[in-house]
Structure 1
Amino acid sequence: MASAMEAPVEVPGRASERASVSRRRLRSGLLFGALAVLLVAGVIASAGVGQLTVSVTEVIGALLRGIGIDTPWAPASEITYEALWQIRFPRVAMSLLVGAALAVAGAVMQAVFGNPLAEPGVVGVSSGAALGAALGIVSGGVLAGVVGTASMAFIGGVGATLLVYVMARAGGRTEVVTLLLTGIAVNAFAGAGLALVIFVGDSAAREQIVFWQLGSLNGSRWNEVAVVAVFAVASSAIAFALARRYDLLALGERTAGHLGLRVERLRIVSIILVAVLTGAAVAFAGIISFVGLVVPHAVRMVLGPAHKLLLTGSLLGGAVLLVWADLFARTAVTGAELPIGLLTSLIGGPFFFYLLRRARSRQGGWA
């Protein structure tokens, strides 16, 4: 009878596990809350700040008016309203989509390769897109113009990625090391092809190719946003559906296989997802480096390796990073616009070095 009245004994292992779950939930709640605030603030600031300054209330009023809700906050000037909806809002939407797509692609790449330093460029998608865009710019004729260049960039990025996979496949499967080495080879080949195209092109084409490679969201239009949105949303949804499989893959290929995971099928689907996400992102925006590396790794440092949370945080973090980077690119220099790819490289380069130093110091290398 006395034993029945005793309080239940708390198992130490379960108590620590419960505390760990609580801390993880707290961290995820704080991170997602901070990202949501930064995202909303970035959207409003990016839409309102520039050569034409628009107040916060006018930005919100214009947005509500555009979706059919009349408020007294709407801009009094029709010119301001049209400027927001035809110039500012498409650019903001493009920055959100491109940042989210690149970050999700990076998270998928890191899951497939089992390496937190992996990024989409490893499989040749960026160099292939650059070569395709250069061909579209130099060829002229049917391929001339923004739509032709974007289409060629997308085809080049996806084509290069599929080429890497096909060349790395042997005996019905692919090895991660073989994929990496094949990606290096295809990147080198695409770089040589890009140099040749630049050499063949005239001065105007060369300038356009160089500018495209630096990355820019200037001139984004709603039809372009719609194209990127279709690919980015569909591919991101598939990536989220595969989150549980990525968790299994993190246990190791052999263990995941014993648990019923078809590793090879997951790898090819994931590589195609990375190609589509990155190709769609860079097609209209140009090469934007390090977003796919920096954002997923930073989110992983806070939330841990669970891929559903990691993909969610990466999506939000990529959108936040690019919307603020684009705002800085437009406003940092009066009368000029910095290439957004330059800004992300300035952020990503030192962070990448920090990651290498951190990983090396854990292995007893650098001090």
Structure 2
Amino acid sequence: MARPGIRPLPAGAAAGAATAPGPARPWGQLRPGVVALLAAALALCSLIWMFQGLGGGNRSFILWLRAVKLAGLITVGASVAVATVLFQTVSANRVLTPSIMGFDALYVLLQTLLVASAGVTGFAAIDPAAKFLAEVAVMVLLAGLLFGALLGRGARDIPRMILTGVILGVMFRSISGFIARILDPNSYAVVQSVSFASFGRIDATLLLPGAAIAAAAIAAALVLAPRLDVLALGRTAAVSLGLRFDRMVVMSLALVAVLVSVSTALVGPVAFFGLLVAGMAHGLASSDRHAVLLPTAGLIGALILVAGQTLFERALAQPATLSVVVEFLGGLFFLYLLLRGRIR
């Protein structure tokens, strides 16, 4: 007999309640072939990028240059997307990106200090691969020291975490700006060149180690996907299920630092691109399981960069415009999340 004020469930509803998918997503449930469709769309855009407008001359050289840039775009898109999803899982907040918390500002500070200490000639003489590996190591170490204790101990205090991260980012940017302003004009120009993102500028010497490190980090994130699902439940639930919460937080932050350092070294700092891609991935994915969410986000990020760069560079002859457009759209999406009250 139903209690007063409670409507009885229809026949069969009780059996289906345990497997109900939850609230409807804004773009509907993900059908089984959507990931394959994203991969096919990325392959099609890649073919257009490689062979569109391929005229006479040294075709092998042209194809090599295009392949290098294509691999860089895919690496950057997937790295930024996966890093943002991981960081949002750790912080339990859909409006945060590693850039907001100061990761990109930390990278720019490292570059500024290196130019100031070694000079333009010394900076240019540094082996790019060795410099890149050293930057990744420093980024991982400093990120663990700065954010590991912060998020590991204060994940339940989201406002304080956000404020601390923003303050650290502002501090890093202020120190970078101060050092840059006391440099000579040539050194200042070098610092400025690494302070802004350019998807049309891919350093071929960093591509192989960068792609290898990014692939390893993404693979590690996929292996940790079940633990990330538990981590997303929150500290209390995760600890009760046997997860080493603090250790998992530090591991996730280390992966974020690696992926951010790879993407920033290849194209420069990006602020809101990851936020846009992560939002699209959450809207398209059929569940919040990271085994689905991470590949979806990586494919969307790579597809946006390849398709966007093809459009702006080949059709509109504006290769430097893509970074401005994606940052603008990401900023609008950030405001949308704020207005919709998605800060959790």
TM-score by length of 1: 0.78
Within a 5 Å distance, the mapping from 1:1-367 to structure 2 comes to 11-15=12-16, 20=21, 27-49=30-52, 53-54=53-54, 79-85=58-64, 87-138=65-116, 139-144=119-124, 147=128, 150=132, 154=136, 157-165=139-147, 168=150, 173-176=152-155, 177=158, 178-303=160-285, 304-331=287-314, 333-334=316-317, 337-338=319-320, 340-359=322-341
Q: CA deviation at 1:300?
A: 1.1
In 1: Cα distance, 2:223 partner to 2:45 partner: 28
Structure of higher RCO (CA pairs closer than 8 Å, 6+ residues apart): 2
Q: Is the 8 A contact 2:148 2:253 kept in 1?
A: no
For structure 1, the residue ranges without an aligned partner over 5 or more in a row are: 1-9, 56-76
C-alpha displacement of 1:32: 1.3
Q: Is the 8 A contact 1:35 1:316 kept in 2?
A: yes
CA separation in 2, counterparts of 1:154 and 1:340? 26
Relative to structure 1, the CA distance from residue 219 to residue 230 in structure 2 (aligned partners, 3 Å threshold; closer, same or farther) is same
Partner SS state of residue 288, structure 2: coil
Matches of 1:254 and 1:166, distance apart in 2? 18
Change (3 A) 1:104 1:131: same
Q: Is the 8 A contact 2:148 2:249 kept in 1?
A: no
Aligned-residue sequence identity (percent) comes to 24
Cα pair 1:288 1:340 within 8 Å, conserved: no
Contact 1:131 1:191 in 2 (8 A): yes
- Show structure 2 runs of 5+ residues with no match: 1-10
Q: Following the alignment from structure 1 to structure 2, what is the Cα–Cα distance between the partners of residues 94 and 230? A: 11
- Taking the aligned partners of 1:80 and 1:141, their CA distance within structure 2 comes to 34
The 1:325–1:134 alpha-carbon spacing in structure 2 relative to 1, beyond 3 Å, is farther
Q: TM-score, normalised by structure 2?
A: 0.83
Q: Deviations over 1:23-82 (max 9, x none)?
A: 999614243133123201221222234xxx128xxxxxxxxxxxxxxxxxxxxx560121
Q: In 2, Cα distance between the equivalents of 1:187 and 1:281? A: 18
Provide the C-alpha distance between the structure 1 equivalents of 2:29 and 2:254, rounded to a whole number of angstroms: 34
Q: 1:305-353, CA deviations, whole angstroms, 9 ceiling, x for partnerless residues?
A: 121111111111111112123224424653x531543232122111211
Match of 2:4 in 1: none
Deviations 1:193-218 (A, max 9, x none): 11012202233333333332221244
* Displacement after TM superposition at 1:17 (Å): 5.5
Query: Structure 1 residue 19: deviation in Å?
Result: 7.2
Shift of residue 96, structure 1, vs aligned partner: 0.1
Question: Distance in 2 between the 1:282 and 1:153 partners?
Answer: 11
**Alignment check: 8 A CA contact 1:129 1:152 kept:** no
**What RMSD in Å do the two structures reach over aligned CA positions?**
3.1
